[in-house]
Amino acid sequence: MIMTYKSTRGNFSTDSRHAVLQGIAPDGGLFTSPEITDIHFDWKRCITLPTEQMATEILKALLPDFSEMEKLVEKAYHGKFEPEDLTPLVQVGENWILELFRGPTSAFKDVALSMLPQLITAARKQTGCSDRIVILTATSGDTGKAALEGFHNVEGTQIIVFYPYGGVSEIQKAQMTTQEGENVKVCAVRGNFDDCQRGVKQAFGEISKKIQGTGKTLSSANSINIGRLAPQVVYYFSAYRDLLKAGRIGMGDKVDYVVPTGNFGDILAGFYAKLMGLPVGMLICAANVNNVLTEFIRTGKYNRNRPFYKTDSPSMDILVSSNLERLLYLACGKNTEKVSKWMQSLSTSGEFEVDSETLCYIQRSFGTWYCTQEETTEEIRDCWEKNHYLIDPHTAVAWHAARRLRESGKSSNPTVVLSTASPYKFPQAVLKALGTQTDGNGFKMIRTLHSITGIPVPSNLSALENKQEKFTDVINADEIVSYVLKELEQWK
Ligand SMILES: *Cc1c(COP(=O)(O)O)cnc(C)c1O
């Protein structure tokens, strides 16, 4: 099976190993396989497998140039997640919740970022690359820690994480600034996630060529890296398998998935699952009040010129959703000229509009709702009171969209809500929703939340309180490039 990886913006083409190593194409486009729409994948066999084997099959199909995928999967996941099947599906009220937060840092990013270091290390060895791989990562809060955890002390790699100063929860910040490891660096940026992401993309553009031949190569742990996206396809299959096992669906029945969305990586993985044959009904893009994607999916107009809101779901406070570019590429018939034009327009005027055929393609698979701050709070309380199930603010945004979908009568398929973080990562917002005082620091709030609900606290979070803060740098967004250059100098 041939899977070439092409830039969404031009003629640049490579194989899956090089695509993973490079992270982003030299022309600024994202590596996407045009063959994904014609892929022959035995999905019916796949959904009979246990999760690790399922992951092996799916990753082999999407990244076929890697050898020994089974070993890589085992190294990535075995014993690292709390439950043996990694991402359990539980029934809550009328819906199903896919718990993606049972990994080492209590966010869904763990699923992909446990795997990515394995893929990068293997790609390095298997392509005979002797360069050290320097991972640059912009984070809205959760990618940073999951990437640090995945890459710390991994031979042949170094990682620098940029997060928005004051833009992440206290617990998220503590997770990152206390990170141990010889090859890690964490830096706050005055600005929001979009500023961090722009700075990192600029660093790729300006530095990648400059350092050729110096024994270092830049790569990315953001979902612009296809090696980050591919592992996320797996849990769409595992959820389907679990519904089948529970007797809630028959083989071939459609299932809707509701996805709390920021950079559009998670939900795009769901679309890949659909292209691979999985009977996916609607993919519902759930957004908070930074609802640029909701507007786009409804109207075909993308406009980032709008106020940026800091919300209780900070990992979704994003106005430029990188992975949308991959969907646009497929939706417009793989026309790289069109994609380039839209992306050019986005970067110069902050907006673009797609043609009606492209929009139709998108609307056939994607629906959307957004959720206000008050509604987010309300959903957390309501879900706790009715079901005694505690959701975090990101999951609450999706829970809201699932409710709206049901009320709209637009679909009668079973609904799977993707739960992307442990409520203990956002104790302040969750306590507020339960109507409890939120005094003291984040760790005190974690204890309060535990005493009210009795839900076990993930050990990785309670352990943070006694850890030493190691990273205190704060810079401006336009200093990201020089910061990276300086770090490259120091890391001999
Ligand atoms: C990253 C993140 C999201 C958004 O996922 P994307 O792939 O960026 O759309 C949602 N919820 C949580 C908790 C996250 O960390």
Q: For residue 302, list its beta bridge partners.
A: 352
Cβ of 260 closer than 6 Å to ligand 1, yes or no, is yes
CB neighbours of residue 78 within 10 Å = 11
Q: Are 65 and 16 in contact (CB under 8 A)?
A: yes
What is the Cα–Cα distance from 484 to 58, expressed in whole angstroms? Answer: 35
Closest Cα to atom 15, ligand 1: which residue? 142
Output the CA angle 302-306-312, nearest 5 degrees. Answer: 105
Q: Are 139 and 193 in contact (CB under 8 A)?
A: yes
Cβ of 269 closer than 6 Å to ligand 1, yes or no, is no
Q: How far is the CA of 357 from the centre of ligand 1 (A)?
A: 28
E strands, 236-373, where?
255-260, 280-287, 301-303, 351-353, 366-370
Q: How far is the CA of 277 from the centre of ligand 1 (A)?
A: 24
Cβ of 175 closer than 6 Å to ligand 1, yes or no, is no
pLDDT at 390: 98
Name every residue whose Cβ is closer than 8 Å to that of residue 213 and which is 6 or more positions away in sequence.
Answer: none
Q: How far is CA 396 from CA 102, 210, 355, 413, in A?
A: 17, 44, 33, 20
| pLDDT tens-place string over residues 4-17 | 999 999 989 999 99
Cβ of 317 closer than 6 Å to ligand 1, yes or no, is no
Of 6, 80, 109, 125, catalytic? 109
SS3 assignment for 203-268: HHHHHCCCCCCCCEEEEECCCCCHHHHHHHHHHHHHHHHHHHHCCCCCCCCCEEEEEECCCCHHHH
What is the Cα–Cα distance from 16 to 32, expressed in whole angstroms? Answer: 9
- Which parts of the chain have pLDDT scores under 70? 1, 492
Q: Strand pairing of 132-138 and 157-164?
A: parallel
Q: How far is the CA of 171 from the centre of ligand 1 (A)?
A: 16
Cβ of 222 closer than 6 Å to ligand 1, yes or no, is no
What is the Cα–Cα distance from 428 to 312, expressed in whole angstroms? Answer: 9
pLDDT at 491: 80
Name every residue whose Cβ is closer than 8 Å to that of residue 166 and which is 6 or more positions away in sequence.
Answer: none
Order of all β-strands in the sheet with 89-92:
89-92, 95-99, 415-419, 255-260, 280-287, 366-370
pLDDT at 339: 98
What is the Cα–Cα distance from 325 to 297, expressed in whole angstroms? Answer: 13
What is the Cα–Cα distance from 368 to 311, expressed in whole angstroms? Answer: 19
Q: How far is the CA of 266 from the centre of ligand 1 (A)?
A: 7
Q: Are 124 and 208 in contact (CB under 8 A)?
A: no
Annotation says 109 is catalytic:
yes
Q: Are 12 and 6 in contact (CB under 8 A)?
A: yes
Cα atoms found within 13 Å of the Cα of residue 470, Cβ hemisphere only? 15
Cα atoms found within 13 Å of the Cα of residue 262, Cβ hemisphere only? 25
Q: Residue 1: helix, strand or coil by DSSP? A: coil
CA-nearest of 221, 4, 7, 20 to 123 is: 20
Output the CA angle 40-53-75, nearest 5 degrees. Answer: 125
CA-nearest of 369, 342, 172 to 283 is: 369
Backbone region of residue 213 per phi and psi (left: phi > 0; alpha: psi in -120 to 50; beta: other values): left
Atom of ligand 1 minimally distant from the CA of 420:
13
Q: How far is the CA of 235 from the centre of ligand 1 (A)?
A: 15
Q: Are 186 and 481 in contact (CB under 8 A)?
A: no
Atom of ligand 1 minimally distant from the CA of 263:
8
CA 123 to chain centre: 21
Q: How far is CA 326 from CA 42, 109, 207, 263, 299, in A?
A: 24, 19, 24, 11, 18
Cβ of 6 closer than 6 Å to ligand 1, yes or no, is no
